[in-house]
């Protein structure tokens, strides 16, 4: 009896394998096009909410793919499209981000971005895909081409999401508020990829549960009473108050928060004073506040406010002005979805090249999609042994071999989710 059951299981497994398209062959067919797409996107990087050329290019490229239908809506500079399979099945969403960063490129590549733009502050800057969104778009676009080739056998529908303004945390909410998951477009799950320089080329990383942080922050105006630096006893020094507050923020993390619930408060800007012998009336601090769970996130603002008010009151200073804001929510990878995708990764690249990375304090607004439906964003290795580089740096030069790996993994996990 056991031998019969084993034989039946082998027959079913063989049949399932036979139904799966030859994605390796399809990757080979489109790899050259994908590299060209990545280079075009890299050379034409645009800032958040200004992705006009990129939007037009994606729409034109998608419209040329057989079976793809562009979806009109209030998407801003985003792009939405659908590819329906010939067999019934669920909708599976794949998201790619589109925007570049205000960084002047220093890669020396022939297709480096020469664009110069002006920020809202008036600062003139270069623009660069220094976070790999050029790779993300190339993977998404050519994964769609691959699935189009086998759409008659595809057991479901692909929802293509081209998200604008990810770098400022605005794109996902804009698309959701415009109804991207409405009118029959609500997906079974949403998937995405992100390149990562800490992971070697050829490897892929995942993390179930909270994987990226809540990205909040504050602007704090520390009030004092100005005066001459030679007579500090006749003034209330906001500089020394600000210094105490910064050290106090570290004590909040170290002594007031549960050590099992990670968080960090980092002051990135201090501004105050005009001259060494003049005690100013005010010092301004700007900080980022990161956490991985909602309980910690909700506890931090009150603790920060209590600390700054207490330090100010201890020397008779005016009450500080604290402007606290909640930014991008923490990203939570659905554990069941992660496990299902990890099995695909192991089959494609081998168990030795698939691993679990620790949760980090970086932010990603993919989190908003993943709070609507089960979501999983995995990390694609682009680390190079011959070059020290990092995301958001002007020397980021990803190895283009990673594009084919991303295409294969993307197509395989999308198909697997449709077929289940």
CATH of domain 18-212+330-419: 3.40.630.10
Query: What integer pLDDT is reported at residue 304 of this predicted model?
Result: 98
Query: What integer pLDDT is reported at residue 420 of this predicted model?
Result: 82
Residue with tokens 């002007």: 394
Please check the confidence at residue 6 and state whether its pLDDT lies above 50.
no
Query: What integer pLDDT is reported at residue 19 of this predicted model?
Result: 78
Domain segments of the chain: what residues? Answer: 18-212+330-419, 214-328
Please check the confidence at residue 5 and state whether its pLDDT lies above 60.
no
Please check the confidence at residue 10 and state whether its pLDDT lies above 50.
no
Out of 3.30.70.360, 3.30.450.40, 3.90.1310.10, 3.40.30.10, select the CATH number for domain 214-328. 3.30.70.360
Inter-CA distances, 169 with 127, 327, 378, 390, Å: 18, 8, 18, 20
- pLDDT, one tens digit per residue, over 97-127 is 999 999 999 999 999 999 999 999 899 999 9
Please check the confidence at residue 17 and state whether its pLDDT lies above 70.
no
Q: Which residues contact 52 (CB under 8 A, 6 or more apart)?
A: 46, 77
Taking the C-alpha atoms of residue 17 and residue 14, their distance in angstroms, rounded to an integer, is: 5
Give the global pTM: 0.90
- pLDDT, one tens digit per residue, over 285-303 is 999 999 999 999 999 999 9
Q: Which residues contact 245 (CB under 8 A, 6 or more apart)?
A: 220, 222, 285, 307, 308, 311
Q: Can you read off the two tokens belonging to residue 190?
A: 């949403």
Taking the C-alpha atoms of residue 389 and residue 201, their distance in angstroms, rounded to an integer, is: 13
DSSP 238-299: HHHHHHHHHHHHHHIIIIIS-TTS-EEEEEEEEEE-SSTTEE-SEEEEEEEEEESSHHHHHH
Mean pLDDT in the chain?
A: 94
On whether the CB atoms of residues 222 and 285 are closer than 8 A, the answer is yes
Query: What integer pLDDT is reported at residue 3 of this predicted model?
Result: 52
Query: What integer pLDDT is reported at residue 12 of this predicted model?
Result: 42
Q: How confident is the model at residue 14 (pLDDT cuts 50, 70, 90)?
A: very low
Please check the confidence at residue 311 and state whether its pLDDT lies above 70.
yes
User: H-helix or E-strand containing 382?
Assistant: strand 375-383
Please check the confidence at residue 15 and state whether its pLDDT lies above 70.
no
3-state secondary structure of 366: helix
- pLDDT, one tens digit per residue, over 199-253 is 999 999 999 999 999 999 999 999 999 999 999 999 999 999 999 999 999 999 9
Contacts of 351-356 with C-beta under 8 Å, sequence gap 24+, read 353/202, 353/203, 353/204, 354/203, 354/204, 354/205, 354/206, 355/203, 355/205, 355/206, 356/205, 356/206, 356/207, 356/208
- pLDDT, one tens digit per residue, over 27-66 is 999 999 999 999 999 999 999 999 999 999 999 999 999 9
Query: What integer pLDDT is reported at residue 22 of this predicted model?
Result: 97
Taking the C-alpha atoms of residue 64 and residue 126, their distance in angstroms, rounded to an integer, is: 31
> Of the candidates 364, 358, 396, which has an alpha carbon nearest to the alpha carbon of residue 377?
364
Cα dihedral 402/329/367/105 (nearest 10)? -30
Length of the chain: 420
Taking the C-alpha atoms of residue 79 and residue 326, their distance in angstroms, rounded to an integer, is: 27
Taking the C-alpha atoms of residue 375 and residue 361, their distance in angstroms, rounded to an integer, is: 18
């Amino acid at each position: 009896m056991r031998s019969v059951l084993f034989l039946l299981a082998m027959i079913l497994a063989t049949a399932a394998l036979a139904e799966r398209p030859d994605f390796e062959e399809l990757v080979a067919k489109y790899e050259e096009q994908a590299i060209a797409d990545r280079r075009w996107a890299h050379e034409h990087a645009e800032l958040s909410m200004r992705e006009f050329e990129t939007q037009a290019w994606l729409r034109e490229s998608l419209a040329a793919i057989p079976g793809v239908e562009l979806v009109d809506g209030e998407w801003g500079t985003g792009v939405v499209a659908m590819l329906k399979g010939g067999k019934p099945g669920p909708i599976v969403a794949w998201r790619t981000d589109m925007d570049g960063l205000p960084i002047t490129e220093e890669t020396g590549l022939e297709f480096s971005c020469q664009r110069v733009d002006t920020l809202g502050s008036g600062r003139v800057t270069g623009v660069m895909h220094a976070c790999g969104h050029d790779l993300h778009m190339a993977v998404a676009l050519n994964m769609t081409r691959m699935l189009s080739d086998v759409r008659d056998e595809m057991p479901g529908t692909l929802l293509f999401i081209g998200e604008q303004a990810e770098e400022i945390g605005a794109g996902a909410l804009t698309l959701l508020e415009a109804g991207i998951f409405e009118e029959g477009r609500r997906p079974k799950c949403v998937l995405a990829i992100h390149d990562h320089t800490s992971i070697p080329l050829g490897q892929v990383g995942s993390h179930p549960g909270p994987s990226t942080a809540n990205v909040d922050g504050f602007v704090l105006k520390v009030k004092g009473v100005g005066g001459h630096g030679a007579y500090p006893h006749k003034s209330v020094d906001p500089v020394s108050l600000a210094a105490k507050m910064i050290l106090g923020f570290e004590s909040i993390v170290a002594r007031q928060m549960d050590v099992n619930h990670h968080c960090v408060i980092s002051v990135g800007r201090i501004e105050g004073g005009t001259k060494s012998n003049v005690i100013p009336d005010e010092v301004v601090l700007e900080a980022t506040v990161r956490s991985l769970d909602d309980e910690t996130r909700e506890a931090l603002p009150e603790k920060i406010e209590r600390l700054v008010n207490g330090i100010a009151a201890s020397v008779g200073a005016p009450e500080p002005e604290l402007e606290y804001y909640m930014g991008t929510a923490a990203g939570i990878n659905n554990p069941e979805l992660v496990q299902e995708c990890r099995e695909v990764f192991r089959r494609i690249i081998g168990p030795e090249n698939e691993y679990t990375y620790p949760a980090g304090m970086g932010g990603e607004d993919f989190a908003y999609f993943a709070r609507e439906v089960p979501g999983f964003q995995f990390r694609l290795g682009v680390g190079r042994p011959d070059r020290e580089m990092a995301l958001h740096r002007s020397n980021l030069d990803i190895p283009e071999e990673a594009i084919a790996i991303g295409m294969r993994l993307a197509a395989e996990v999308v198909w697997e989710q449709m077929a289940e």
